[in-house]
A and B are shown apart, each in its own frame.
Chain A
Amino acid sequence: MAEMTRRTALRTLGAAGAACAALAPGEAEARVARQPDPEDHGLLVDVVRCIGCRACVTRCKEANGKPPDVRTVAGAAYDAPVDLNATTLTVIKRWAGEREAGFVKAQCMHCVHPACASVCMMKALHKGEHGIVEYDVSKCVGCRYCQIACPFNVPKFEWASVAPRIVKCELCRHRAKDGKGPACAEVCPRDAVTAGKRGALLAEARRRIAERPRAYEREVYGETDGGGTNVLYLAPVDFAVLGLPELGRDPAPALSEVIQGGIYQGFAAPLVLLGALSIVTWKNARAARKEEER
């Protein structure tokens, strides 16, 4: 605690504190990081099992009331979203490595320490029950800072609407009252998408790796990446081939929170600055008035 207080005092030196935090962020970032909760809800996406049938994409749209993303190719219409967008909360994409190729599902990663919620002005995006990153439209002003912040480019904006919302996967939390889980996991014919608690999903992932060590990369993406995510990935190739960003162990918003939190800790630095400036401006004004009177 004494260590904390001293560090706090140092941080409140304002710009100097920011510079210190900026140049030695490693240790400080570990301080703001949150621990993953094994009871949180999440998904396990097994890229080895996925055959790219896109049943999850279609079922997700049904479950969330989203219209098809119609693209017309050579006169024929297809529901063919090429990426997550305002009507597509999950999507299947093709990936190709040097020898292998396959399909990978994308959706919100439900980060342990989400950048979108960290930057959201009014907590429209926030960490809700079971670790789900929830969206509350009533608090959203449509600033789109979440889109700037998310390293996975997950939150999407309804650009075509005059009353636009942010759209993203919320793990079908609206179906929980009917005792149902995420629609994508429910429909997957290959069990490539499994819904469950983070701790159990991680154990299952490790079991699959141990069972077929040559089929899988040894790591589970999301166990520690970006401070941990509640959606975990198993893959036969390096995760970068799938398009998953290399984030390191720190949460994406850690640097921002450490520097901003360092400068504004307890709002002390701005108040000290205000006090000092008030004294100076008041003294100067008095001196000027005296000069005028003379």
Chain B
Amino acid sequence: MSAPARPVEGRFFTPAIQIMLALWGLGTVAGLYRFTHGLGAATSMNDGYPWGLWIAFDVVVGTGLASGGYAMALLVYVFNKGRYHPLVRPALVTSLLGYSVAGVAVAFDLGRFWNMWRIPVSVWDWNGTSVLLEVALCMMAYTAVLFLEVSPALLERWAASGREDRAALARAWLPRVERALPFVVAVGLVLPTMHQSSLGSLLLVAGTKLHGLWHTGLLPLLFLLTAVAMGYAVIYFESIFSSVAFRRPLETRLLGRLGVFIAGVIAAFVVVRFAGLFLSGRIGLTVSSGVHSFFFWAETLLFLGAAWLFMQQGVRAHAPGQLQAALLALFAGAMYRIDAFLTGFNPGQNWVYFPSLPELFVTLGLVATETMAYVFLVRKFPILAGVTAPASRTVPAAAARQGVVS
């Protein structure tokens, strides 16, 4: 835990943030409309497509994109690659934000949202065969775990702050949190392994509705692999994004060494998927299913393209290639998940679904809120490493903490 992470500081209300605020406003208006007029008025969802954009994108894709914390924790704390430590904290922050946004999206989506509290509380009503219950409980627990994992950043700031009461609190809690951290990290690895695979298992029951190119008993494994791939890809994206946005040095070489590993994960996904299709005698569907075949190949080519570019990073790391690789992998993973939940889903009887404007506004508003929260947090708290902080704040968090511990 020697990463000298520092607050970025600087002005918060940049033009980009002002645009996000406008999107937040649109999302809020659309959200109010949903709560006052009901889901039927605000969304395009119907009895055939009871899950729409909010579940398929905000929750299923959103938590996939929020798998960065999971991916990095696996690398640093399990495979013990300490050199990647500077990437862990920003990854945990985006994961925390991503899962929080998913939770808010679920509150928008649930018809009887005021009953939500029953899910973690009414233990005697828990249905052991419900995949969704497992996903819901795991995601709630994981959000709490992510908060614990991120909390040292908050406590370090307080420890270094001038206010004596806060500093005392931080000094008392930092060592405790850090002692518990190995166990917290382990819990934070088990939970996403469970619910990211279970996101795929959610669709196992829909055998008569989900197209054969997506419906397979291997769904949990395929979703877990996409979570890992998207998790590492989002680390690339975030690192490059924050370098450009906050003028900190690129982590090109550090990221480059990861490339071969990510390529391997993506290759495993493609191999497992094709093996499943071969073994179930469905390989013909890849050419005979019209628009579904098109989407299948689009996903596959995006994945393979991403794997190829990631592989190159192991040989010669360069930032533009990394950004391309990351974007391809993120698109591929997002597309696979959207296709499994919407494009490949056909309830029959001529039902159609395309998200309504309020649905899009709510989703855009949530993404904007998430981005604003990230910018706010990295400006105020010691999250990013390699930041050249102004002279007034050069007390490095690690140094402040050493004083605390001794």
Contacts and interface: CB of A to CB of B under 8 A. Distances in A.
| A, B bound | yes
B14 interface: no
A134 to B, nearest CB: 14
Interface stretch (A3-11, A43-51, A67-75, A273-281): A273-281
B313 to A, nearest CB: 25
Interface in A14-52: 15, 18-19, 21-23, 25
B134 A264 contact: yes
A165 B111 CA distance: 8
Contact of B217 (A25, A148, A270, A278): A25
A153 B47 contact: yes
Nearest to B46: A159
Contacts of A25: 217
Contacts of B187: 274
A97 B348 CA distance: 19
Which of B1, B134, B204 is most buried by chain A, counting CB atoms within 10 A of its CB?
Answer: B204
Interface stretch (A201-209, A213-221, A253-261): A253-261
Given A142-B112, A160-B41, A284 B182 contact: yes
Contact of A259 (B45, B186, B201): B201
B197 interface: yes
B50 A148 contact: yes
Nearest to B125: A122
A280 B2 contact: no
Contacts of B133: 121-122
Given A85-B47, A273-B190, A281 B112 contact: no
B182 A278 contact: yes
B112 A285 contact: no
A189 to B, nearest CB: 28
B129 A281 contact: no
A273 B204 contact: no
B130 A281 contact: no
Contacts of A259: 201, 204, 217, 220
B68 to A, nearest CB: 18
Contacts, number: 206
B37 interface: yes
B104 interface: no
B167 interface: no
Interface residues of B, number: 72
B77 A253 contact: no
Interface string B261-294: 0000000000000001001100000000000000
B214 to A, nearest CB: 14
Contacts of B11: none
A160 B115 CA distance: 19
A278 B204 contact: no
B349 A157 contact: no
A119 B182 contact: no
Contact of A277 (B110, B189, B198, B203): B189
Interface in A119-137: 119-123, 137
B45 A255 contact: no
B297 interface: no
A144 interface: yes
B127 A273 contact: no
A176 interface: no
Interface of B: 1-2, 35-41, 45-48, 50-51, 77-78, 80, 82, 109-113, 115-116, 118-119, 122, 125-127, 129-134, 136, 181-183, 185-187, 189-190, 193-194, 197-198, 201-209, 216-218, 220-221, 224, 276, 279-280, 347-349
13 contacts: A15-B224, A119-B127, A122-B126, A141-B112, A148-B203, A151-B209, A157-B47, A159-B39, A162-B37, A164-B38, A264-B134, A270-B194, A273-B190
